[in-house]
Amino acid sequence: MGTISASGVTGTQVIARASAILRTVSTHSTHGVTTSEVALACDLTRPTAHRLLSSLAAEGFLDFDARQSRWMLGPELFLMGNLAAPRFDIIEITRPLVQELADVTGESAFLSARRASETVCLLRIDGAFPVRSFVLYEGVRFPLGIGSAGIAILAFLPDEEIEDHLENRQQLAARRGERHDDTEIRERIARTRELGYAVNPGLLVEGSWGMGAAIFDASGRPAWALSLTGIESRFRVERQSVLGPLLVDKAHRATQMLKSSIS
């Protein structure tokens, strides 16, 4: 159990807040993020956010660009990531499949992983079609049930876990201003279970469509997803009937490859 500090915040709460900050900074890994943006994303006061950011920077987990007043990931995370990489070789195992999806369809293809109640994009490979959507990029996170990868993963979780997720996400959804209620999410879950793949009809950004299929771990749980995104005209119903089975096939191959890698 966490100890109580002088400020009344438990050690467990400090860890949770620091973790939330690191996730927020990682989502903005290319250009960094300001203290105010971190405070808003993590529901903290600006002084508290700054204090935690500074502490993480002192330990090497973050860097601060004084010229731009922006925080970025630090060298300690790079070192830890390299040490942890051999245990999480999902990117290299599935990279050829993501490349195939991009080559065959011409769209942007992705690998995403489930992390608690979110998905995080691990890999993006762009196809040849010149008009692209940039809603999804490496490091970005979305709640389960919103983007196509999150829909695909959520749909194949046990019913009780889905209900727990829907109950816990209501407060987050209100804070983020999401317009997707539980009824809409349940409809997408049912449709995904019926088809085997998920369709995101411009729910994150108008005109930016996506489709996804779940990859399962050795215990049969959905843990990752392959997805495609692009402009609406490239995801008409007739093409969905081609892209959907293609995604399911590649996701099934990824599942088998992962099983073989640990057997």
Mean pLDDT of the chain: 86
Spatial CA neighbour of 211 closest among 192, 228, 236, 189: 228
pTM, 2 dp: 0.70
> For residue 175, is pLDDT > 80?
no
Yes or no: say if 112 and 122 are a contact pair by the CB < 8 Å rule.
yes
pLDDT given for residue 178 in this prediction = 52
Q: How far apart are CA 175 and CA 166, in angstroms?
A: 15
Token duo for residue 66: 């004084």
What's the mean pLDDT in 243-260? 94
For residue 167, pLDDT beyond 90: no
Contact 120, 140 (CB under 8 A): yes
Q: Which domains does the chain carry?
A: 11-80 (1.10.10.10), 88-262 (3.30.450.40)
Cα–Cα distance measured from residue 229 to residue 205, given in angstroms and rounded to the nearest whole number: 11
87, burial (CB in 10 Å: exposed 0-12, middle 13-18, buried 19+): exposed
Q: How far from the centroid of its chain's Cα atoms is residue 190's Cα?
A: 21
pLDDT digits (tens, 9 = 90+) for 99-122: 999 999 999 999 999 988 889 899
- Which pLDDT score, from 0 to 100, does residue 184 have? 84
Structure confidence at residue 179 (pLDDT): 53
